[in-house]
């Protein structure tokens, strides 16, 4: 399939009904209008197997989600999944959860990680039920969107 442009996918993750957990969705909604033609923008709930499917075959996948680390709300963190596990939560050890960290590690185990997989985390403050983002998180949304747009596929020189 030479000549096919590198597939770029942006995945906003979260639940818009859980306060700041909607941060990733808000970024995806903003990028749905701003992303260059050919870039796919998806919204996901965070269920891991669906995520692994969403980034399959992509040269560059960018995942945006809320994080909880006790830091300042609105803080933006960037992780390169190729460098190692993302986050401190041991993957898989919850009764139902099979989330992003697990999806990344499962894809790594099956040798199916995209050549570039970048995760942006936005520090949230309030994850209670509701549709509103905290002011600090709301301010971070366009900043993350801009950073996501600055990510570029390493295209042909990979491998």
Partner 1 sequence: MSGKNIKVDILARVEGEGALSVKIKDHHVADLKLRIYEPPRFFEGFLRGRKFSEIPDITARICGICPVAYQMSSCHAIEDAAGVRVQGALRDLRRLLYCGEWIESHALHIYLLHAPDFLGYDDAIRMAQYYPEVAKRGLRLKKIGNNIMKVVGGREIHPVNVRPGGFYKAPSKKEVADLADDLEWALNAALETVRWVASFSFPALERDYEFVALRGPGEYPFNEGRVVSNKGLDIAVREYEQHFVEEHVEHSNALHSTLKERGSYLVGPLARYALNFDLLTPVAQEAARSAGLGPVCRNPFQSIIVRAVELAYSCEEALRLVKNYGAPEPPFVDVHPGTSIGYGCTEAPRGILYHRYRFNEHGLVLDAKIVPPTSQNQKSIEEDLRQFVEANLDAPKDKLQWQCEQAIRNYDPCISCATHYLKLELERE
Smallest distance from partner 1 to CB 152, Å: 23
Q: DSSP letter for 41, please.
A: E
Smallest distance from partner 1 to CB 125, Å: 12
Smaller CB separation from partner 1, 121 or 153: 121
Smallest distance from partner 1 to CB 128, Å: 9
Tokens of 72: 């300042």
Residues that bind partner 1 (CB under 8 A): 13, 15-18, 21, 43-50, 52-53, 65-72, 75, 77, 79, 86-102, 105-106, 108-110, 119, 121, 127, 129
Q: How buried is 90 (Cβ within 10 angstroms: 0-12 exposed, 13-18 middle, 19+ buried)?
A: exposed
Smaller CB separation from partner 1, 33 or 88: 88
Smaller CB separation from partner 1, 69 or 155: 69
Contact 39, 93 (CB under 8 A): no
Smallest distance from partner 1 to CB 10, Å: 15
CA distances (Å), origin 65, targets 5, 6, 78, 157: 26, 23, 11, 29
Smaller CB separation from partner 1, 121 or 157: 121
Smaller CB separation from partner 1, 5 or 52: 52
Tokens of 28: 């995806």
CA distances (Å), origin 41, targets 35, 44, 84, 133, 157: 8, 10, 24, 21, 24
Smallest distance from partner 1 to CB 18, Å: 6
């Amino acid at each position: 399939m030479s000549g096919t442009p590198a597939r770029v996918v942006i995945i906003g993750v979260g639940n818009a009904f859980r306060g700041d957990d909607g941060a990733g969705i808000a970024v995806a909604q903003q990028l749905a209008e701003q992303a260059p033609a050919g870039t796919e923008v998806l919204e996901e709930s965070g269920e891991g197997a669906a995520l692994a499917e969403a980034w399959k075959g992509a040269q560059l996948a960018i995942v945006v989600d809320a994080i909880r680390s006790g830091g300042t709300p609105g803080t933006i963190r960037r992780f390169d999944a190729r460098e190692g596990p993302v986050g401190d939560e041991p993957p898989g050890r919850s009764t139902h959860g099979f989330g992003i960290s697990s999806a990344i590690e499962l894809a790594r185990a099956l040798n199916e990680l995209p050549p570039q997989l970048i995760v942006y985390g936005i520090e949230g403050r309030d994850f209670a039920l509701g549709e509103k983002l905290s002011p600090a998180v709301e301010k971070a949304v366009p900043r993350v969107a801009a950073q996501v747009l600055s990510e570029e596929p390493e295209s042909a020189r990979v491998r």
